[in-house]
Amino acid sequence: MWWLLLFVCACHGAPTHDTFTVSAPNGPLSVWIGSSIILPCSVSPAFTASLQVRWHRPDKYKTPVLLYENRQVQEQPADPQYKGRVSLIGQLEKGNVSLKLENVSLADSGEFVCFVAGDTWYEQASVHLIVKVMGSPPVLSVTYGGSGQVNITCVSDGWAPQPNLTWRNNGVTEIPSQNHHSATDDHGLVSVTSWLVHSSSGSEWVACSVGLPEEERKESRISPYISGADTVELERILRDKEAEMERLKQKSEGPWKEVFISFLVLLLLSSATVFVLYRKGFIKCKDLKEAEAEYRKQDKLETESLLKTQSEEVETLKKTITELRSELDKNKGEVEAHKQQITEQQSQLDESKGKVETQNQQIEGQLKKEREEVKSLNLTITAQVKELEESGAEVERLKQESRELQSELDKNKGEVEAHKQQITVELERKLRDKEAEMERLKQKSEAQVKELEERLIASGAKVDRLKQESTGAFPQNHALLLTWDILKGFKESPNMDEASIQGNFRIKGKRVQCVKPNCDQPLNTYHFVLCKDTFSSGQHYWEMRIENKLSWFVGVCIDTLRGQEGVPLTLQNGCWLLCYDEDKGFFVNTEPITPLQVTISFKILGVFLDCFGHSLTFYDAESHSLLCTFHDVRSAHPLVPVLSPGVRENKHVLIL
């Protein structure tokens, strides 16, 4: 048999979870309509970049108020009614995920949910918001009720939330009243109505005040007084009318009886209405109007102050962004200037070399020309000497001329030699300077190359050490020499491939689950999911959360199985799996299966693939316990992680 199975029991360890808590205020928050407010929410112990922050209303999870994900606020699928009105106030690294809500409307009343989620954990907290609206001053009216009593009515509308209404006698004593009524209109604003029966001579005036808790109240006053003469006269008129109606009732006959009685009733009601309208002229609202105007003026000043403060904050933020951009442009300019300086130095060096070569060519050409002139001169002198031999005088003359010419030639040679020496000295000086500069650059480059070589040697030594540690991690006596810290250094998080699904499975992010479970169906190796990642070399470690499941399997297989249907995951087909079934327990995919005596219960499974040592090892990642090891895991094709959540229930398997 070409494979070897090992199970080793290890010591107990403490489980670890990437957990956190989310907290928000217990009581409700209140804010005036049209203003801004911060909804507090915090994450503890700390906020990490992988967390998701979702603010939403209780019934609108899929269209949140604000969604922060992948280190930025997402534009979609946010609720359009909050566009431009919400933002995070910052300091996410300190766990502050509070929401700032601007231009608050009446529709913003109610609960806001602060939902924070990580890869394996989520928490939420709620903030209740009460939007306050100041209603109208109360309107009072009075009608005569008979027997020295009057009916006083108080009405006020346009409030949010529902205000409380109180009656006072002369502004001192509170008058109890059970006759209260409230109604809410289509915009969510509340109107309140109350009435009471009061003695017409019991006080100078009666006040009705309406307001929200702990806020300024609005009050109106009215005089309930009706003079005694008016009361006696009114009662006498009523008695006379009743007597007249009774007399006419007794004398009346025929069809005109009902018409006459109706006419008298209408006449009586008209008289009472005229009296009521006359009495309404005693209502005093001038002071209330002045108070309301003062309040609106103060509210306008506070709003302008808040807008000014926000404008200053925006200008400060714009100035900071401008300074940062200026500094970034300055740094880019310095880098470009440095690059340009190096390019110019290289160009100057090339230009100097070209000048030296050009000067050398010019000197060589000048020397060649002078040699040709000397050669031509020698030929001329020879011819002249020959002629001088034929004539002595002519020879002497020619000798003299030859000596003069020779002297001139020596002089020219000296000048040429001096000019050549001067040019040579200057060129040698420039060459020495350039050689010194090149030597300095060469030494600097050699130092950098040496440093890189030392780093490469150190990295190679580290790689060799890791290879040696990895190769010796599982010796023949199966002692676990690979430390957990080193193992964690190889940790990866493979991504599942939706196109490779075999069976009724569904993938959501890093999770996979069975969508049509059958509790009686055994574990089936024809149903599985492959990952996108493939491994041909190196060492790789990943973890999976498997908790309270009836069946599952995890392992690796050759990548050539991708796209093939109906192929069982067996050792003969290039698959190495750790399996679990509630009826069979733990086993590996041999034929027949090989059971494992695993007695510990775990939630997180660790998988370590060592392509150098040709081994595959499974761990309990919480207690650091080794479950089993496949040796001689060899394949001519790349290996790919494979897993199955089983088909007996819909609980998911999660890649951490």
Quick one: 642 exposed, middle or buried, by C-beta within 10 A (0-12, 13-18, 19+)? buried
pTM as predicted = 0.36
> What pLDDT, in 10s, does the model give residues 548-586?
889 999 999 999 999 888 888 999 999 999 999 988 899
13 and 634 Cβ atoms separated by less than 8 Å = no
Quick one: 85 exposed, middle or buried, by C-beta within 10 A (0-12, 13-18, 19+)? middle
User: Which residues does 43 contact at the CB level (< 8 Å), separation at least 6?
Assistant: 20, 21, 22, 51, 95, 97, 116
> What pLDDT, in 10s, does the model give residues 608-641?
999 988 999 999 998 888 999 999 899 999 999 9
| pLDDT > 50? residue 271 | yes
> What pLDDT, in 10s, does the model give residues 296-325?
676 567 667 766 776 776 677 678 777 767
Helix, strand, coil % over all residues of the chain, rounded to 5: 40, 30, 35
Q: What are phi and psi of 551, to 5 degrees?
A: -160, 155
Strand blocks (E) in 531-624: 539-545, 551-558, 575-581, 585-588, 594-595, 604-610, 615-620
Between 237 and 103, where is the model more confident? Answer: 103
Rounded CA-CA distance 314/571 in Å is 66
615-620 and 625-631 strand pairing: antiparallel
**Over the Cα atoms of the chain, what is R_g?**
51
pLDDT at 303: 62
pLDDT at 486: 86
User: Which residues does 142 contact at the CB level (< 8 Å), separation at least 6?
Assistant: 150, 151, 152, 153, 222, 224, 276, 279, 280, 282
> What pLDDT, in 10s, does the model give residues 504-526?
899 999 999 999 898 888 888 78
Instruction: Please give the average per-residue pLDDT across 206-235, as a whole number.
Output: 75
Of 141, 174, 199, residue with least CA distance to 165: 174
Q: What are phi and psi of 600, to 5 degrees?
A: -85, 155
- What separation in angstroms does the CA of 532 have from each of 256, 385, 499, 513, 617? 102, 100, 10, 18, 21
